[in-house]
Structure 1
Amino acid sequence: MEARSGNAAGKWSPPPHASRVVRQIHAMLHPRNIVVVGATDKPGNYAERIWNNLIKYGFEGGLYPLNSKREAIWGVPCYPDFASLPEKPDHVLVMVPARFAVQVVRDAAAAGARSATIVTSGFSELQDAESQRLAVELQQAIRETGLAVTGPNCLGNLSAGENLFTNIDDRIVTMKAGPVAIAGQSGAIVMAIRQALEDRGVGVGYMVTTGNEAGLETTDLMNYFAIDPSIRVIVVYLEGVRNTSAFREACKAARAAGKPVIAIKLGASEGGRAAAMAHTGALAGSIESFDAISAREGVIRARGLDELVETTECFVHAASPKGSRLAAVTLSGGKRGLLIDAFSAAGLNFASLSPAVSEKLAKMLGPGSIVGNPLDAGFAAVVDPSVYMQSIKIMIDDPDTDIVIIDSELPKAPHELRERNLHRVNEMAATANKPVIYISTMSIGFTEFTKGLRQSLPHIAVMQGLDRAVGAIKSLIEYAALPKDVPEIASSSTASARAMLERMLKNAKGAALDEVASKRLLKAYGIPISKEAIAQTSSEAVKIARQIGFPVVAKVVSAEILHKSDVGGVMLNIKNAAEVKKAFEQITSRVKKLKDKPKIDGILIAQQVKADLELVVGTALDAEMGPVVLFGTGGVEIELMKDVALAGAPLDAAEAKKLIGRTKAGVRLRGYRGKPALHEASVIKALVGLSNLMMDAGSRIASIDVNPFLVNSRSGLAVDGLIVLNNRAAKASGDH
C-alpha cells in the first residue's frame, strides 16, 4: 500500500473580508493533506486509531505518517521529517510527548503547514512547574508561527464534507455533512454529543475538540461556524470563557446570522468550577453571571446533555415560530392534562380556539366530544381513525396558532398506519410556515428502524421527555422573538464623573472606599443619595443632624470596616440632639474596642428615609465573565427572599427596565394589589449609573454594593454604599 496523496479542497471558502482566524480555521477543516507526527504501531495507540479512521472514512487528501525511527508503518512509507514528504505538510497531527511538541509546531510551520491538532497532553491542565512552562512555550510558538492550532490535550476533529475524522472515536460515524457544528474543550463530551445527535438523525457537519485552547478557542470556532452557510445551529461545551468580549462578539455574529448558540457551561457549582480548573486550566465564573451576559446575546444554555440534544433537535427541525400561541393534539385525556401542566409551569399556554375552528372540530368529532386546546381526539379516533389526521390538519391550518404539538412517539418497528400518518404530517409541515413538533412524554430508545424513519421526516421535530421538550420549545419561542442585532451600549457618564473616578482610584489606600467616598462617587454617576455629612465630634454631629432634620441615622466611617452593622457601627431612628450625642459616643467606643483597631474617619450623620420598598442594587466583577449588574429585594430580606437578578454591563435604560422586570421586587415597584407605583425612574437611573461606573473603571473595581436603596412614590435614594477595589488590577495598571 502506497502513502496516499491528493487534494481535498472545500467547496465553500470564506469571503475576502473574513478574519485571519476564520481563514485559518477553514484551512484546518479543509486541509490538502494530513501528517501524523509520532506515528507508531503500538497496539491501541491514538495515532493508529486516528489513522484507521482517516482511511475508513475516505479522506481524499494526502496522508503521511512521520517517525524518524521507522521506514514503513501501517503498510505505507513512513517519513523521517517534514522535508522528506512528497508535498508540503498542510495539517499536522502532533502525537509526540509534550516535551517535543513545541519544536514540532515550529518545524511544521517552517515546512509550510497551515494548521495542527495537538492531541498530546501534559500542559496547562497539569499544575507542576514543567507542564506550565511547556504551556507558555507552546502558546509562544503558536503566536510566532501563526498556525491554526487546536489543543493540546484534545481528541481531534471532524469535517464531514471532507471525510475528515482526526479523532480516536471508534464508533460508527455517518460522514454526511449536516447543519450542526459542535466545538468544546472536552473531547469526550463533544464526541458524546455528536453521537447522541447522530442517533437522533441530526447531522453534524463539524466537530472540533479544543482541549486546553493554547491556540484556537471555542469562540474562534463560533465565528467560523457563524459564516459557514452549511451550518444552522452551533453547539458548544464551555469549561471556561477566556475572553468575554470576544465570546460576546462571536455570539453576536451567530445571532446576526440567525444561528442559535446552544451551550453547556461548566461551573454551576463550586465543584464544577474546581473541575474546570483541574481539567483545562480554565477559570470558571458563576453560572448566574454567564447567564446574565450570554442570554442577552441570544445564547441558549442547556442544563444537561439530554436537554442540549432535545434543544438542538428542536432548532434543527422546527421552523421559527411567529409567536407563542400553542396548539396540541393528543389521543389521551391524561396526556392532555400533562401537556397543560408542563407548559403552564414554563409560562406558556395553549391558545383559545376561534369559534370557526371550534365549530369545525365539533362537527367532525361528533356529539359528546369536548373541543378544546389541547385537543383530545382519542374517543372519536377509535370510531374513525381518519379523525386524528383531520384534527392535526385543522390545527396546522389555523392562522391563530403559531406552534403545533402532537403527542406521539416514533414506532420502534414497522407500523403501516403510524408511518403513513407521520409522512403525511411531514408533508403538511413542509408548507405550514410554522413549527410542527412531535413530543413523546417519556424518553424511548431509538432502534435502527426508528433512526431510519426519523431521517425520512426532515420537516418535523421529534422530541423526547415532556419537561425537556417544553424547555426547548420555550427557547425556540424566545430566540425567535429576539432582534437580529444586539444593540451597542456605551457608557453615558460625564467627563467630571470619570475624572472623579480616576482621582479616587489613584488615591485609594485600602481594600475599599469608605462610605462617604463611595457615595460621593455614586452621586457623581447620577445615583441619588441621602442627605448626610461626616462629623468628627459629637457637637458637630448634633449640628449636622439639626441641619438635615430629625430623625437621623449615625454610622461609622472607616475604609477598614466593610460591614458596619456587624460591629455595632450603625444606629437608627435618632430623634433629638441628646440621642445624636449618645449615638456618636457609643459607636466610637464600640469600634475602638475591636481587636484589629480599625481607623475611624468619623461618624456619618444621614437623613432617615421613609421608604415603601427596600431594594439592593450593585455590581460585581465576575472572575470569568466580567462586570454584571444586580437588582432585587434588599434590606434585611435579601438573604430570605433571594429575589435578585443579574444583567451583563453595560446597561442602558431599556436593559435596566428589563432587569427590574425579572424580579418580584419589580412587580412591587410597579404597584401590587392596588398599591401605588413607586419611583421606578430613580432605580433605572441608579442601575445605569452603576453600569457606567463599572465600565469606566475597567477591572479596577471588584464590586459595588448599595443596600438598601430606598424607594417611595416620589423618589429613590441610596442610603448605604460600598465600593470594593480590585487592588491587583489597580496595581497592574500603573497610574491607576
Structure 2
Amino acid sequence: MSQNKIQIEASWVSGEMESTGHPGVHALLNPKNIVIVGASEKPGNWAERVWRNVHRYGFSGNVYPINASREEVWGVRCYPDCASLPEKPDHLVVLVPAVAVPDVLLDAAKAGARSATVMTSGFDELTDSASVDLATRLKKVIEETGLAVSGPNCLGNLNAKAKLVTIPDDRPLLLTPGPVAIISQSGGLATAMKRALQDRGIDVSAIVSSGNEAGLSTADYIQHFASDPDVRVIFSYLEAVSKPEPFLEACRAARACGKAVVVMKLGVSDIGREAAQAHTGALAGSMQAFDAVAGQVGVIRVDNLDSAVEAIELLAHAKLPAGKKLGAITFSGAMRGLMLDIGRGHGLEFADLAPATYEAMGNILGVGSILGNPLDGGFAALTKPTAYVELIETILADSNVDMLLLQEELPRDDGSTRKLKNLADVEAIAAKASKPIAFVSMLSYAMTDYSRELRRSLPHVPFLHEIDKSLKVVRSIMDYATTRPSPTRTAQPAANNPADRHLQSFAKDRIGPVIDEVRSKALLRDYGIAVPREYLCATAEEAATRAAEIGFPVVGKIVSSALPHKSDVGGVIVGLNSAKEVAEAFDRLIAVAEGLPQKPPIDGILVAEQASGSLELVLGASLDPEVGPVIMFGAGGIDIELTRDVALAGCPLDEKQARQLIAKTRISTIMGGYRGRPACDSESVVKALVGLSQLMFDAGGRITSIDVNPFLLSAKGGVALDGLVVLRK
C-alpha cells in the first residue's frame, strides 16, 4: 500500500473525516482546498468556469491554479506544480491532456493530496489501443496512490453542505441541502436532473459525475450516501456496472438504511451477442438480467428521466405503502376512467372497499349508498366544508387500501382559498397517517415561484405529474416496498466440484467454446439434472444395436458443436420404432450434415430414449458481465423466442427462490394443473434450477451460458432432452 493511501486511511481512523460514509467519497466532496490543474485564460474554457463556480457558490477553502507555463492566471498567482503550493494540496480538478494525467496524480499524491476529479477524456471510452493502455496506467496509478478519484471523462461534482461546485456549468444552481443525491456517469445528464428537480421544488444535496469510474465507482458513492442522514433517495444514471458485487452490496446496504436507489440504466450488454448460440443468451439481455438481480436487492429501475423525476418526487415526500391496493378520489369522470384504464395496464388494482367504508362515505356525502372506486366527485355535497377531509380519512382507514391517490395539482398563483385549505388539510393528514397519500394531475404542468414555495410547505405529500407515468412509477414503488430484499447470498462448492473436472477435460481436449450435447449433458447430469438414456454412435449398426438396448421408440440426433440448434437444419428425427428405422435414420442424418453449406464436423449420431411429458420448459443460465450469473426459467420448445414466457433470478438460487422464479411465469399455472390437466412434478424443476445455479457458482465465471431446452416435464418428473454449454472465451 502506498504512503498516501496509508495517510488517507489513517486520517479516517483518527476522526479527521466524518465517521460515516465512504472515506474516499467524503474526501472528494469535502475538500480543504482545491487545485485546478490546467489553468488557462482561454475564453470559455472549463478550468476558468470551474474557478468561477468555486468562488461563485462560496467555497470556504483556498483555490490554487496550476500551469507550468504561466506565472499568473485569473488575476492570481499560478503555480508550476503541487510541490510549489503554499499548503498541502487536498483536491485536484484535472484538465490536462490525457497522456499527462497519470503523472499529475502521482505528483499530487506525493504532495499529500487526498482526492481528484479528472475531467479529461481520452481513456477507455475510446477503443484504440493507446487509449485503452492509458486507461490501464491511470487505474494502476490510482490503486498505487490511494487517491479518491472521480472520472476520468466527467463533469465535476457538487456538495451543497460544503458549498462545493466544480461543475463547469454557467447556469445558476440552487445550493440547498435536500433529500436527493445524484450519481451519474454522464455529467450533462446529472445537471439536467438537478435542474428538473430544482424546478419541481426538490433540493439536491450532492451530485457526483462519475465518468469512466477508473477510481471510485457507483458502488462507492451509493455506500457513502446510504449513511447520509439528509439523503432519502439516491438517483443513479448507469451506463455500465463496473464492480458488480460491490454495487449489489451497496444497494442492499442502502435499502437496509431506508434509502431508495433509483436507477436509469443504459445499454444492452454483450452477453446476448456472446451467447447467441444459446436461447438463454438471446433472451436474457442485460436489462432483464439487471432487473432480476438488482431488483432483488432493492433497486428501482426507471425507463426514462421523466419517470425518474416522478419516482424521486414520490419517494422524497411519502411513506412507502405496505401493500399494492390503491384508493383514489377524483373530481372528474374522465380522470376516473383514465386512472382505471391506465392503472390496469400497469398491473395496478384499485381496492374493493369494505361495505362499512361505502356506508360511511354515503353518510358523509348525504347520498345514501355509494358504489365504485375511485370516486367520481361532482357531488354537490362536497361543498360541505369537512366532506373532503372526512372522505380521505374514511378511505385511509379501510384495511383494503394501502395508498391513496387524489386528483390535484399545485396552483400557479394565489387565488383559491378552498384549494389552499384542501392542500393544507391533506398535508396534515399525510404527516400523521401510516399510509402514503399522493396527488396526481391529468397532465404535466409548469411550476412558478409561487407553486414551488407552496410546495415547500407540503413536505409529506408528493405531487405527481400526468396519469400514465405517475401510475407506472406507483407500480414500481409498490413492487419495491413489498419485496423483501434478498440477503447476501453465499454458496459452497459442490462436493469434488464436478464443474472443475469437466472444464479441465474440455481445456485438455481443446474443446470449446460451444460444448456439444453429449458433453454438455454429462456436466448437467453431475448436478442432478436428469437426462434420457442415450448413446453416441459412430455407425448405423451401432445405432441400431443401442436403440434395441434402450427400447423403442427412440430419437436420432446429429452431435456437433457447430450445430447448437439441430432441429433448425433437420438434424433430429423422432419416433424411430425399429432397428431398421434407426439405421436408415443414421444415414439420413449423416447426409443432412454433409449437405450443409458450412460442412460442420460431427462427432456421431446420438440415439436417445424418446421421453414423454406434457410440458416443454426451458432452463438456462447466463453470465452477465454487469451483474454476474443469472438463472432463467420458462416455457420452452422451438418457439421460445416467440412466446418469451420466461423469468430470471440472480445466482446462487435456493429452493425457495427457485419456486418464486417459477411462479413469475404463465406456464407455472399449467404446471400446477389447469382446466383438468394433471399437475406436473414441479419439485423436479426446482431441483434442476438449484443444480443449474450450483453449476454456475462452481464454474466461477468460466461458463458464459447454459441452455436446457426442452426440459420435458410430466407428473412423474422432468428430463433434459437437450443441453448446450457455452464456455467463456
- Structure 1 length normalisation: TM-score? 0.91
Bigger relative contact order, structure 1 or 2 (CA pairs below 8 A, ≥6 apart): 2
Q: Distance in 1 between matches of 2:541 and 2:37?
A: 82
Tell me the CA shift for residue 558 of structure 1. Answer: 2.6
Q: CA offset at residue 399 of structure 1?
A: 4.5
Moved more, 480-489 or 332-341: 480-489
Q: State the SS of the aligned residue for 1:306.
A: helix
The residue that corresponds to 1:279 in the other structure is none
Q: Tell me if the contact between 1:366 and 1:380 (Cα under 8 Å) persists in the aligned partners.
A: no
Query: Which amino acid letter does the alignment assign opposite residue 307 of structure 2?
Result: E
C-alpha displacement of 1:465: 1.6
Letter paired with 2:691: G
Aligned to 2:447: 446
Instruction: Give the deviation of 1:80 after TM superposition.
Output: 3.2
Q: Distance in 1 between the 2:500 and 2:264 partners?
A: 41
Deviation of 1:117 (Å): 0.6
The offset of 1:641, in angstroms, is 1.2
Which residue identity lines up with residue 488 of structure 1 in the other structure?
A: R
Q: Distance in 2 between matches of 1:600 and 1:76?
A: 77
Matched ranges for 1:51-130 at <5 A: 51-130=51-130
> % of aligned pairs identical?
48
1:264 partner amino acid: M
d(CA) in 2 for partners of 1:674, 1:493: 40
Task: For residues 462-500 of structure 1, give each alpha carbon's deviation from its aligned partner in whole angstroms, at most 9, with x where no partner exists.
Answer: 111212111221222222223355251415633263454
In the aligned structure 2, how far is the partner of 1:523 from the partner of 1:576?
28
Aligned residue-pair number? 703
Is the Cα contact below 8 Å between 1:551 and 1:575 reproduced in 2? yes
Mapped to 2, the partners of 1:499 and 1:88 lie a distance apart of 52
How far apart are the structure 2 equivalents of 1:285 and 1:668?
A: 26
Paired residue for 2:19, among 15, 20, 23? 15
In 2: Cα distance, 1:529 partner to 1:266 partner: 39
Distance 2:29 2:180 in 1: 15
Change (3 A) 1:350 1:568: closer
The farther-off stretch of 642-651 and 149-158 is 642-651
Structure 1 residue 376: Cα displacement: 2.4
Using the TM superposition, give the Cα deviation of residue 40 of structure 1 relative to its aligned residue in structure 2, in angstroms: 2.0
Q: Within the alignment, does 1:541 sit opposite 2:543 as a pair? A: yes
Q: Cα–Cα, structure 1 residues 50 and 285, in superposed 2: closer, same or farther, change >3 Å?
A: farther
Q: Could you tell me which residue of structure 2 aligns to residue 201 of structure 1?
A: 201
Alignment correspondent of 1:189 = 189
Give the SS at the match of 1:504: helix
Q: In structure 2, what is the Cα distance between the partners aligned to 1:159 and 1:193?
A: 15
Judged with a 3 Å threshold, the aligned counterparts in structure 2 of structure 1 residues 70 and 494 are, in CA distance, closer, same or farther, namely same
* 3-state secondary structure, aligned to 1:493: coil
> What secondary structure, in the 3-state scheme, does the structure 1 residue paired with 2:639 have?
helix
Q: Residue 562 in 1 paired to residue 545 in 2?
A: no
Look up the equivalent residue of 1:55 and give its one-letter code: H
1:26 aligns with 2:30: no
How far apart are the structure 1 equivalents of 2:706 and 2:343?
Answer: 38
Aligned residue number for residue 518 of structure 1: 520
- The residue that corresponds to 2:694 in the other structure is 692
State the distance in 2 between where 1:603 and 1:127 align: 44
2:60 partner SS: coil
- Please tell me the residue identity of whatever aligns with 2:720: A
Amino acid corresponding to residue 429 of structure 1 in structure 2: A
| Aligned position for 2:592 | 590
Structure 1 partner of 2:530: 528
Q: Distance in 1 between matches of 2:133 and 2:727?
A: 31
Moved more, 32-41 or 520-529: 32-41
Alignment of 1:114-513 (within 5 A): 114-268=114-268, 286-367=286-367, 370-381=370-381, 383-384=383-384, 386-415=386-415, 416-483=417-484, 486-491=487-492, 493-495=494-496, 497-511=498-512, 512-513=514-515
Taking the aligned partners of 2:40 and 2:50, their CA distance within structure 1 comes to 11
- The alpha-carbon deviation at position 398 of structure 1 amounts to 3.8
State the Cα distance separating 1:76 from its structure 2 match: 3.4
Paired residue secondary structure (1:258):
coil
Which stretch shifts more, 355-364 or 622-631?
Answer: 622-631
Instruction: Check conservation: 1:669, 1:677, Cα contact below 8 A.
Output: yes
Q: Please name the residue that 1:281 is paired with.
A: none
Counterparts of 1:152 and 1:343, CA distance in 2: 43
For residue 676 of structure 2, what is the aligned residue in structure 1?
674
Q: Deviations over 1:346-405 (max 9, x none)?
A: 222122222322222101212277443212232235643542233223223445422111
Q: Deviations over 1:113-151 (max 9, x none)?
A: 100111122222233444333322222221221111111
1:572-628 Cα shifts (integer Å, max 9, x gaps): 011122211211222123323445444433221111122211111111223433322
Q: Secondary structure at the match of 1:293?
A: helix
Contact 2:217 2:243 in 1 (8 A): no
Amino acid at match of 2:364: M
- Cα distance, 1:78 vs. partner? 2.9
Deviation at 1:48, TM superposition (A): 1.6
Q: How far apart in 2 are the matches of 1:91 and 1:707?
A: 55
Give the equivalent residue in structure 2 for 1:718.
Answer: 720
Gaps of 5+ in 1: 1-8, 274-283, 729-736
- SS of 1:161's equivalent? coil
How far does residue 168 in structure 1 lie from its aligned partner after superposition? 1.2
Counterpart contact for 2:382–2:388, Cα < 8 Å: no
| Structure 1 pair 588–400 and aligned structure 2 pair: CA distance change class (3 A) | closer
* Structure 1 Cα separation of the partners of residues 126 and 541 of structure 2: 62
Q: Which amino acid aligns with 1:295?
A: G
Name the SS for the 1:438 alignment partner. Answer: strand
How far the C-alpha of 1:305 sits from its partner, in A, is 0.4
Which residue identity is paired with 2:33?
N
1:571 offset after TM fit, Å?
0.6
1:631 match: secondary structure:
strand
The CA deviation string for residues 247-292 of structure 1, in whole angstroms up to 9 with x for no partner, is 222222222222221101111599x99xxxxxxxxxx972222222
| Cα offsets for 1:277-329 (capped at 9, x unmatched) | xxxxxxx9722222222111211110000001101111111102222232111
1:62-111 per-residue CA deviation (whole Å, 9 max, x = no partner) reads 22222334444334333333233232111111122223222211111111
Alpha-carbon spacing, 1:85–1:381, altered in 2? closer, same or farther (3 Å): farther
Which letter does structure 1 place at the counterpart of 2:19? Answer: P
- Read off the aligned partner of 1:360 and give its amino acid letter: A
Most deviating of 487-496 and 356-365: 487-496
Q: Secondary structure at the match of 2:161?
A: helix
Contact 1:489 1:651 in 2 (8 A): no
Distance 2:519 2:123 in 1: 45
SS of 2:638 mapped into structure 1: helix
2:7 matched residue in structure 1: none
**Alignment-derived partner of residue 641 in structure 2:** 639
Are 2:359 and 2:368, in contact at CA under 8 Å, matched by a contact in 1?
no
Q: Secondary structure at the match of 2:206?
A: strand
The aligned amino acid for 1:157 is N
- Cα gap change, 1:613 to 1:400, in 2 (>3 Å): closer
Give distance in 2, aligned partners of 1:312 and 1:212: 25
- Residue type of the alignment partner of 1:461: P
Amino acid at match of 1:145: T
Structure 1 pair 67/538, CA: closer, same or farther in 2 (3 Å)?
closer
1:612-664 residue CA offsets vs partner (Å, 9 max, x unmatched): 11111111223433322221111122133122222222211122222212222
Q: Secondary structure at the match of 2:349?
A: coil
Q: Is the 8 A contact 1:267 1:285 kept in 2?
A: no
**Partner secondary structure for residue 557 of structure 2:** strand
Structure 2 length as normaliser, TM-score? 0.92
Displacement of 1:457: 0.8
Measure how far apart 1:673 and its partner are.
2.5
